Structure 1
Amino acid sequence: MTQAQLKKSSRIQQRNRSLILDAALEVFSQHGYRGTTLDQIAERAGLSKPNILYYFEGKEEIHVTLLNQLMETWLDPLVTLDPEGDPLSEILNYVQRKLDMAHELPRQSRLFAGEILQGAPRMGPHLEAGLKPLFDEKCALIQIWMDAGHLRPVDPRHLIFSIWATTQHYADFASQVDVLLQGEPQPQQGAEDYLVTLFTRLLKP
């Protein structure tokens, strides 16, 4: 096989893997891990089931691959909480980024929520090794800001939980939000305005 043929083959493989992962993300986010089959993923991707199994050993490997890709993206807004920044602005920027992700990556949010609701059977190690140290680090930073009088004192852990809950709600319960906000001209802007007001009033000294 020539170098050009190898490159073409590699591009086709990359394209097919991308097709499979995008199709799987759609199906997993709709039906959950247990409700998803390889046949559904294959149909969505426009590939045969044997083609799927050429690239992945099975449904679990596809699911784990998606979750691994998701974790870095999901944690990045928390990672970038800047110790040198203005504390209230840093928190509000974090809220904004999480809300943007709920709007732009709803399937990924539902994929993550589905895994957690099942008891994190595949994500447990990531939560322990990746999320927990980061969570503890940022809670300690927020506590330092509060002790210095830059933020009103609240429990930093539950503050972060509430940010997750109020932002990811717009992705995880999108069908309900769409029905209840039917006719709303700018639902994203309304959510942003409300959450900025909520957390500003909670945290401003």
Structure 2
Amino acid sequence: MSRIRKKNQQLIIEVASEQFATHGYAATKMVDIALAADIPKANVFYYFSSKDKLYYAVLKTVTQPLLEASQPIEQLTDPVQALSEYIEAKLRISRDHPHASKVFANEVMSGAKSLPEDIGRELFNQSRMIIDKFSTWSQQGLMDDIPAHHLMFTIWAATQTYADFGWQICNVMQKEQLDNDDFKQAAQFITQLIIKGCGVHAKQ
């Protein structure tokens, strides 16, 4: 892919992410995306032949990092290190892909009616892997006997809220936007909360 083509696709995806996040899938039209990106509508259709394909591309910008974020859980045997890296990765997604994260959240809250089947299947398989790993750590005595699925839900909620409820968080903190130090502090606090609250031990 040429550099210009990649740059144009990235611009369209970023603008579409904001439009879908603000107005929803049904209310967003390709012409709205073209106007917001300040490019001809024909250019949008050149790179993405339909709204469905553009919506899929937007979802991939957040679901692919979400799938990659769980690699520490899958690959590492030390729960302290794995959870720390997982939480940091989840917060990076909220920081780097706030609009796409909102699009994904809106899609889930509406019943995932437009979520592509392959993405849904990958996310489900990832969830099963995380739950199984948490259960294994509990059985090994590296973590308290906790309901693994609720721990996973708690981490999702604690990290994704920084994107999905970004306006409210910034309003409370009296900031236009959060900076890297804010996300670093959030990662440290959430990690400490999970590790101490669930009795997580480092593997010797």
Length-normalised TM-score, structure 2: 0.85
- Indicate which of 29, 39, 42 corresponds to 2:31: 39
The 3-state SS of whatever aligns with 2:39 is coil
Residue identity in the other structure for 1:121: K
The 3-state SS of whatever aligns with 1:41 is helix
Contact 2:17-2:58 at 8 Å conserved across structures:
yes
Cα gap change, 1:67/1:128 in structure 2, threshold over 3 Å: closer, same or farther? closer
Residues 36-61 of structure 1 show CA distances to partners (whole Å, capped at 9, x for unaligned) of 22122001222112222233233222
Cα gap change, 1:84/1:177 in structure 2, threshold over 3 Å: closer, same or farther? closer
**How far has the Cα of 1:122 moved from its partner?**
2.3
What is the percent sequence identity of the aligned residues? 28
- Indicate which of 189, 195, 199 corresponds to 2:190: 195
**How far has the Cα of 1:137 moved from its partner?**
1.9
Unaligned segments of structure 2, at least 5 residues:
none
- Indicate which of 14, 20, 31 corresponds to 1:22: 14
Q: Tell me how many residue pairs correspond in the alignment.
A: 197
Aligned residue runs from structure 1 range 149-164, under 5 A: 149-164=141-156
**How far has the Cα of 1:175 moved from its partner?**
0.4
Deviates more, 1:180-189 or 1:23-32: 180-189
Is 1:166 the equivalent of 2:161?
Answer: no
CA distance in 2, matches of 1:38, 1:84: 43
Aligned to 1:135: 127
Contact 1:88-1:151 at 8 Å conserved across structures:
no
Aligned residue runs from structure 1 range 113-128, under 5 A: 113-123=105-115, 125-128=117-120
Residue identity in the other structure for 2:144: R
Contact 1:92-1:199 at 8 Å conserved across structures:
no
- Runs of 4+ in structure 1 over 3 Å off: 10-15, 183-187
Residue identity in the other structure for 1:91: L
CA distance in 2, matches of 1:90, 1:16: 36
Cα gap change, 1:12/1:192 in structure 2, threshold over 3 Å: closer, same or farther? closer
CA distance in 2, matches of 1:64, 1:143: 33
Contact 1:23-1:44 at 8 Å conserved across structures:
yes
Aligned to 1:105: 97
Q: Which entry has the higher C-alpha Rg, 1 or 2?
A: 1
CA distance in 1, matches of 2:60, 2:188: 32
Contact 2:63-2:119 at 8 Å conserved across structures:
no
**How far has the Cα of 1:34 moved from its partner?**
2.3
Cα gap change, 1:178/1:28 in structure 2, threshold over 3 Å: closer, same or farther? same
Aligned to 1:3: none
- Indicate which of 82, 85, 89 corresponds to 2:81: 89
CA distance in 2, matches of 1:14, 1:127: 22
Cα gap change, 1:166/1:75 in structure 2, threshold over 3 Å: closer, same or farther? same
Length-normalised TM-score, structure 1: 0.84
Residue identity in the other structure for 1:200: I
